[in-house]
């Protein structure tokens, strides 16, 4: 059992950082497109609160540019803590100013970007690590992101346990493929079992590989079967790129604390 202060390989956290940067970049672009559609079609902006200002095309483009730049910094691993906060703040602002930009994948991207501020995500595979040298991280650096995975799958899995989803109708209505009733029902049950299994199984060493492979299969199939592939791809990147955190290996302490008695017996 790993402890919060145990040192682990920093490459898993680097993979998570890259995934958060990619999904953040996609979500900033998607939110900007939503603002443009509101302006072009003359639709009424649905702000979270009436006192919030309306967003002009220039303001929308500026926010998207700031968020995209922050996402690039996260990807490159340069000032990833500050960049993560900026990316999270940009996504949150876009969701507040236009509720049509809100969806689970944008909210997930926002939270994951924020959690980077509490980690040394640039310890490996980053511009900073190329300049200062690679480092390892502690379990505490990645715990919030690991917990976020369980929260996401617990929410999405348990929410699907209802007659409408388990009947397969939701999958049929949101798919561009002709799916029979028995197959749709089987897919619905498999989705629930996989998501609930990921919530728990990623924390159990004996089940970790099995549930991770099932999760990759689930997310690989979603864009193929369902409509709106971009949001679903963004969501898949946000969570699948966090899987390696559960496989991070402990790194031996280069300066172990040795008790005096043991040290004396070794040196004799």
At 191-231, the pLDDT tens digits run 999 999 999 999 999 999 999 999 999 999 988 888 766 77
CA of residue 203 relative to chain centroid, distance: 17
**Dihedral pair phi/psi, residue 145, rounded to 5°:** -70, -40
Pick 267 or 163 by higher pLDDT: 163
Q: How many CA atoms lie within 13 A of 185 on its CB side?
A: 5
Instruction: Quick: pLDDT tens for 59-118.
Output: 889 999 999 999 999 999 999 999 999 999 999 999 988 877 767 889 999 999 999 999
In a domain, 4, yes or no: no
Higher per-residue pLDDT: 37 or 162: 162
Q: Is residue 126 part of a domain?
A: yes
Residue 248: pLDDT over 60: yes
- Judge if 64 and 89 occupy the same domain: yes
**pLDDT at residue 266 is higher than 60:** no
Residue bearing tokens 């609160």: 49
Burial track 73-95 (b if 16+ CB lie within 10 A, e otherwise): bbbbbbbbeebbbbbbbbbbbbb
Residues 136, 10 contacting (CB under 8 angstroms)? yes
Query: How many domains are there within the chain?
Result: 2
- Of the candidates 91, 78, 63, 75, the residue with the CA atom closest to the CA atom of residue 22: 75
User: Domain range holding 179?
Assistant: 141-246
Q: What is the DSSP secondary structure assignment for residue 136, as one 8-state letter?
A: -
Query: Using the 8-state DSSP alphabet, how is residue 59 labeled?
Result: H
Task: Determine the pLDDT at residue 176.
Answer: 86
Is 104 found in the same domain as 39? yes
User: Does residue 172 share a domain with residue 198?
Assistant: yes
Q: Is 1 within the bounds of a domain?
A: no
**Are 132 and 149 contained in the same domain?**
no
Q: Does residue 228 sit in helix, strand or coil?
A: coil
Q: Which of 66, 57, 120 is nearest to 91 (CA)?
A: 66
Residue 14 pLDDT grade (very low, low, confident, very high; cuts 50, 70, 90): very high
Cβ-contact 90, 35 below 8 angstroms: no
User: Per the domain annotation, does 132 fall within a domain?
Assistant: yes
| Residues 203, 214: Cα–Cα separation, whole Å | 15
Domain co-membership, 126 together with 15: yes
């Amino acid at each position: 059992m790993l402890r919060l202060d145990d040192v682990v390989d920093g490459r898993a956290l680097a993979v998570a950082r890259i995934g958060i940067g990619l999904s953040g970049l996609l979500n900033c672009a998607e939110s900007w497109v939503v603002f443009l559609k509101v302006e072009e079609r003359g639709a009424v902006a649905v702000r979270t609160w009436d006192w919030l200002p309306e967003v002009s095309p220039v303001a929308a483009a500026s926010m998207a540019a700031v968020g995209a730049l922050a996402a690039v910094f996260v990807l490159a691993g340069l000032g990833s803590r500050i960049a993560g906060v900026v990316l999270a703040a940009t996504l949150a602002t876009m969701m507040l100013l236009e509720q049509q930009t809100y969806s689970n994948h944008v909210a997930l991207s926002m939270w994951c970007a924020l959690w980077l501020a509490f980690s040394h995500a640039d310890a490996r595979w980053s511009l900073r690590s190329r300049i200062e040298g690679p480092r390892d991280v502690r379990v505490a650096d990645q715990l919030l992101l690991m917990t976020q995975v369980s929260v996401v799958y617990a929410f999405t899995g348990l929410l699907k346990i209802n007659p409408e989803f388990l009947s397969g109708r939701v999958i049929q209505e949101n798919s561009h493929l002709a799916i029979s009733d028995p197959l749709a029902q089987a897919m619905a049950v498999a989705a629930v079992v996989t998501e609930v299994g990921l919530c728990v199984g990623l924390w159990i060493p004996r089940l970790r590989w099995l549930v991770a492979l099932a999760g990759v299969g689930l997310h690989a199939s979603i864009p193929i079967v369902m409509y709106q592939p971009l949001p679903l791809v963004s969501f898949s990147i946000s969570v699948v790129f966090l899987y390696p955190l559960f496989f991070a290996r402990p790194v031996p302490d280069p300066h172990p604390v040795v008790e005096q008695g043991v040290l004396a017996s070794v040196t004799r």
